[in-house]
Amino acid sequence: MAKATGFLEIDREETKSILPEDRVKNFKEFILPSSTKKVSEQASRCMDCGIPFCHNGCPVNNIIPEWNNLVYESDWEMALNVLHSTNNFPEFTGRICPAPCESACTLNLEDNPVTIKNIEKTIIDKGYQKGWVKPLINKNKTNKKVAIVGSGPAGMACAQQLARSGHSVKVYEKNDRIGGLLRYGIPNFKMEKKYINKRIEQMELEGVSFLCNTEIGKDISFNQLNKDFDAIVFAGGAERPRDLEIPGRKLKGIHFAMDFLTQQNKRCEGDNFVGKNEILASNKDVVVIGGGDTGSDCIGTSNRQGAKSVTQLEIMEKPPEKENKLMTWPYWPLKLRTSSSQEEGVQRSWSVATKKFEGKSGNVSKLLLQKINWEKDSLGRMVMKESNENPIELKADLVLLAMGFVSPENDDLFLQSKVKLNSKGNVDANEIDYSTNKRKVFTAGDMRRGQSLVVWAIREGRQAAEAVNRFLLSRKKV
Ligand SMILES: Cc1cc2nc3c(=O)[nH]c(=O)nc-3n(C[C@H](O)[C@H](O)[C@H](O)COP(=O)(O)OP(=O)(O)OC[C@H]3O[C@@H](n4cnc5c(N)ncnc54)[C@H](O)[C@@H]3O)c2cc1C
Ligand code: SF4
């Protein structure tokens, strides 16, 4: 246990950030690093609970009480080893995970959970500074070849685990850079991309090879891959966005969030978008439809590009300011949250449905909105009822659709491989062997579970790697 009386003596201290008005001037990360002393103090608050709910709340089952104790005792290198034993990429999760572990922490019963996410980030950042993050090269090769389709966190975690087991691993990526949504979805101000580059370097030294600009199912057929490899892992994400097919949808200036976010992420990498396909929020009245994290990323990006105004619309009703702890703990509670991007400036509206887009000279100029009432039906389910009030008009010259993702977008690959899909259109496989109906084909991440979180993708990548490893080592001859 860290310090027996730590949680009684020391209050939770939030991380410090650059002020909203300053950080919107660029796309850099804005969470300020905490001092070693402060983080050690915060770690000392951990009670080393008999049942560590944090450990179960974390999808990769990070061994949190152990590294809290090690940080308190200043054994940072061992803390990093323990952290790496369950999580390949703590520098990703330490920055962008919503931290279900903190919701599950016993001290969250009093709204004061251990600052687990910041402790995790500090351990790995220190690890990089001190040169403790090294390639783990397995010299005992199995001569088995594995192809991974997709280089998001699921594909990366899977590839790293398999290379460390001695297999020869090749990752195929249809985009021009590695990283999936970490690279082109999540904005730089939440996670700078140098962290992905460092891991690519490490993984290449461990024997993983990467091939960009190569779509499996188009540039290389599934049959070819099937011939060349002993096992294949589909980790292509769930990229088909939910659309809003209402009158006016074809007007110019209405875009899917990912088209907008990808361009900005590419700009941050030094690419140029000049001409009619460029999507920019500068000097525009921006409306973001969808109240989730993707919507927040659109807000942060719009403000940094110099939008005139930003409004976010959410069809669901405004959640309560505070959760009922005894009903929800240790699970992720439904409550009003304000993201760092929302903090930077946005007008938020709840219980509104967009009914129509209207335009001038082919460009969107306003939205017609209808107020919604959420009521219980006879079975106690919440149902949506449109109010009789007159529609509300909202000015807009850029509309960003951020209403989630419905399924993978890999029709060619699925047709060629004949893998079975489930009722949601995701690749069908369980969480025990991650194997599809097609022999030697496995799947992990959003492609299997639907759009989710980076930490779940890492978990699935690791577990699928374990399943592939068992499959390969149990086969005598390929
Ligand atoms: C805008 C946005 C912000 C988000 N923010 C957060 C956040 O803050 N925290 C968080 O935890 N989660 C966040 N998420 C969710 C998280 O990014 C995903 O759950 C996670 O990246 C899924 O990982 P994955 O490896 O399964 O798929 P992806 O990251 O989607 O990667 C799949 C990769 O496969 C490639 N691919 C697909 N088909 C093929 C093919 N046939 N051939 C070759 N390559 C192919 C794609 O190009 C892509 O690069 C966010 C999602 C979005 C859209
Ligand atoms: S639940 Fe919180 S206090 Fe308990 S072991 Fe985990 S981090 Fe420590």
Asked whether residue 208 is domain-assigned, the answer is yes
Contact predicate 101/62, CB 8 Å: yes
pLDDT value of position 276: 65
Of 379, 403, 427, the residue that ends a domain is: 403
Q: 292 and 311 share a domain?
A: yes
What pLDDT sits at residue 4?
85
* 218 and 293 housed in the same domain: no
Last residue of a domain, one of 88, 107, 130: 130
Is there a single domain that holds both residue 297 and residue 393? yes
436 found inside a domain: yes
pLDDT of residue 2: 73
Residue 92 lies in a domain: yes
Ligand 1 pocket: which of 454, 458, 460 to mutate (most atoms within 8 A of CB): 454
| CB-defined site of ligand 2, < 6 Å | 46-49, 52-54, 64-65, 68, 105-107, 114, 116
- Decide if 301 is inside a domain: yes
Residues 302, 190: Cα–Cα separation, whole Å: 14
Ligand nearest to the CA of 170: 1
- Whether residues 445 and 420 fall in one domain: yes
Euclidean distance between CA atoms 389 and 394, whole angstroms? 15
Q: 412: domain range?
A: 145-239+406-473
Residue 218 belongs to a domain: yes
Cα–Cα distance measured from residue 342 to residue 309, given in angstroms and rounded to the nearest whole number: 12
On whether both 230 and 185 belong to a single domain, the answer is yes
In a domain, 138, yes or no: no
Q: What is the pLDDT of residue 478?
A: 43
What is the Å distance from ligand 1's center to 180 Cα?
Answer: 5
Per-residue DSSP letter, 442: E
Same domain for 376 and 267, yes or no, is yes
Mean pLDDT per 10-residue segment, the chain (478 residues)? 86 97 98 96 96 96 96 97 98 97 96 97 98 97 97 98 98 98 98 98 98 98 98 98 97 98 96 84 98 96 98 95 92 94 97 96 97 91 90 97 97 98 97 96 98 98 98 73
Size (the chain), residues: 478
How many helices and strands in the chain, by DSSP H and E?
A: 20, 16
Same domain, 311 and 356: yes
Bridge-based pairing of strands 441-443 and 309-313 is unpaired
Q: What CATH number does the domain containing 231 carry?
A: 3.50.50.60
Query: How does DSSP assign 360-420, residue by residue?
Result: ETTEEEEEEEEEEEEEE-TTS-EEEEE-SSPPEEEE-SEEEE---EEE---HHHHHHHT--
In this structure, the answer to whether residues 31 and 96 fall within a common structural domain is yes
CATH number of the domain to which 126 belongs = 1.10.1060.10
Residues 6+ apart with CB under 8 A from 221: 416
Instruction: Supply 342's token pair.
Output: 């929302």
Count of alpha carbons within 13 Å of 417, Cβ hemisphere only?
32
* Secondary structure E strands in 189-327: 208-211, 231-234, 240-241, 254-256, 285-289, 309-313
Give the helix/strand (H/E) hosting 61.
none
Domain boundary among 384, 403, 422: 403
- In this predicted structure, what is the pLDDT of residue 321? 92
Q: Which residues contact 184 (CB under 8 A, 6 or more apart)?
A: 175, 177, 258, 261, 262, 265, 266
Count up the domains in the chain and report the number: 3
**323 and 274, same structural domain?**
yes
What is the distance in A from the centroid of ligand 2 to the CA of 280? 44
pLDDT at 475: 66
**What distance in Å separates the CA atoms of residue 57 and residue 104, rounded to the nearest whole number?**
6
b/e for 127-165, b at 16 or more Cβ within 10 A?
beeeeebeeeeeeeebebbbbbbbbbbbbbbbbbbbbbb
Asked if residues 309 and 347 have their Cβ atoms less than 8 Å apart, the reply is yes
Instruction: Give the contacts of 40 (CB within 8 A, at least 6 positions apart).
Output: 71, 72, 74
- The token pair at 259 is 């088209």
- On whether residue 103 sits in a domain, the answer given is yes
48 and 121, same domain (yes or no): yes
CB of 440 closer than 8 Å to CB of 232: yes
55 CA: nearest ligand 2 atom:
6
Evaluate: CB of 297 within 6 angstroms of ligand 1.
yes
| Contact of 240 with 407, CB cutoff 8 Å | yes
Same domain as 286, residue 158: no
Q: Is 139 among the domain residues?
A: no
Q: Specify whether 254 is located in the same domain as 394.
A: yes
Burial state string for 416-453 with b = 16 or more CB within 10 A and e = fewer than 16 = bbebeeeeebbbebeeeebbbebebbbbbbbbbbbbbb
